[in-house]
Chains A and B, each alone.
Chain A
Amino acid sequence: MFSLTRSTLYCCPRRVFTASWRSKVQTVQKPVRTHWRTYAQISERNTIGAFTPTAAALFILTGIGLAVYLRNEKQRLEEEREKERALKSYGRPQIGGPFSLTTHDGEPFTQEGLLGKWSLVYFGFTNCPDICPAELDKITAVMNNIQKEHGHIFLPIFISVDPARDSPSRIAQYLKDFHPSFLGLVGAYDTTKAVCKAYRVYFSTPPNADPNGDYLVDHSIFVYLMDPRGQFVEAFGQQVTAEEVEAKINESITQWQKGTGKKV
């Protein structure tokens, strides 16, 4: 009864007045009681009508339920937003883009050749004393492991920053020391410069380099991971280990699979 009064009070103060007045009437003014009582009873029934204990319980339960649901929903949305943020955490740097080069077999090759495979792109030159071969060895080690796990869905690419000396045949010879999937690419000085610009790679070869000269090329040493749409995913510096590169590739493939249902 108490809880009922409370809900009444909560609902409509006018009725509280009616009720308390009625109780006074009940104790003092007996003669007119019947009429007042009837009226009070009707009004009480009306009051009770909307707020039976069951209704109150339902009301409270619904309230709690809604609060819990909304809180969960809010948390879920926040988590989803967080996940999305993690996926795009760095935005997508504008790395990569159209290019037109020649493979080590003398075939033309453009950015479209990157589609449908995960590619690891490295810029270097065949007369590189130590860093390039070390990086290409690293890519070879990575390739051996990820291919075992995921199959032939990877394309390691070596782009020459020394077009004066690195002929397709010379690159073909050079790449024999590394993973058999390696694709060597080379172009004229201007196309080399353009592809380096697209990938934000610095290189020091002068346009008029002597094809028979004995010189070194200073260049940026990053391995770029590109997704099967040919879009940039990650750049790995020299200090990043093969294991770390593999971990990032596996993670990227998992995410890609979540979005597309496929590995490539």
Chain B
Amino acid sequence: MGWFWSSTSKEDPTAPNRENRQRCWETRDTYFACLDRAGVVKAGEEGKACEKEHKAYEGNCAKSWIEYFNQRRIIADAQKERLGLRNNSRTPKSDLQGSFFG
């Protein structure tokens, strides 16, 4: 893992391309799926449960993106909670993410 498209190199940082974005989204989805299994909404509160997934996520996404996606996850969960309360059924998290990032 390791390469990063922004901030680390001082000379003319290049924008992420399609491949970079795709890889970032994939590692994010894997990490978030792990958080779902661990029953954690807020990234970072899972302890050592998703260490491998988290490492891949951090290695493939810019810090600003990670903050943004993590924030999105919390907002999505709050929204789902509100909607879910009505009919007392919980929709899988991945569905909600799909509407944001798909």
Partner of A130, one of B13, B18, B101: B101
Interface string of A215-241 (1 = CB under 8 A from B): 110000000000000000000000000
Partner of B16, one of A127, A167, A171: A127
Contacts A167-B12, A169-B12 hold; do A127 and B100 have CB atoms under 8 A apart? no
Closest residue of chain B to A214, judged by CB?
B7
B64 & A216 in contact (Cβ 8 Å cutoff): yes
**Which of the 9-residue segments A3-11, A79-87, A173-181 touches chain B?**
A173-181
- What distance in Å separates the Cβ of A104 from its nearest Cβ neighbour in chain B? 11
Contacts A129-B69, A130-B25, A169-B12 hold; do A215 and B64 have CB atoms under 8 A apart? yes
Residues of A contacting B17 in the complex (Cβ-Cβ under 8 angstroms) = 173-174, 176-177
Residues of A contacting B15 in the complex (Cβ-Cβ under 8 angstroms) = 126-127, 166, 170-171, 173-174
- What distance in Å separates the Cβ of B19 from its nearest Cβ neighbour in chain A? 9
Interface string of B54-95 (1 = CB under 8 A from A): 000000001111001100000000000000000000000000
A91 in contact (CB, < 8 A) = no
Contacts A130-B101, A169-B12 hold; do A214 and B63 have CB atoms under 8 A apart? yes
A133 in contact (CB, < 8 A) = yes
Residues of A contacting B18 in the complex (Cβ-Cβ under 8 angstroms) = 133, 177
B42 in contact (CB, < 8 A) = no
Residues of A contacting B48 in the complex (Cβ-Cβ under 8 angstroms) = none
Residues of A contacting B21 in the complex (Cβ-Cβ under 8 angstroms) = 129-130, 133
CA distance A177 to B6 in the complex (A): 18
B13 & A165 in contact (Cβ 8 Å cutoff): yes
Residues of A contacting B13 in the complex (Cβ-Cβ under 8 angstroms) = 165, 170, 212
A-B contact pairs, 12 of them (CB 8 A): A126-B16, A127-B6, A166-B15, A170-B12, A170-B13, A170-B14, A173-B14, A174-B17, A177-B18, A214-B7, A215-B64, A216-B64
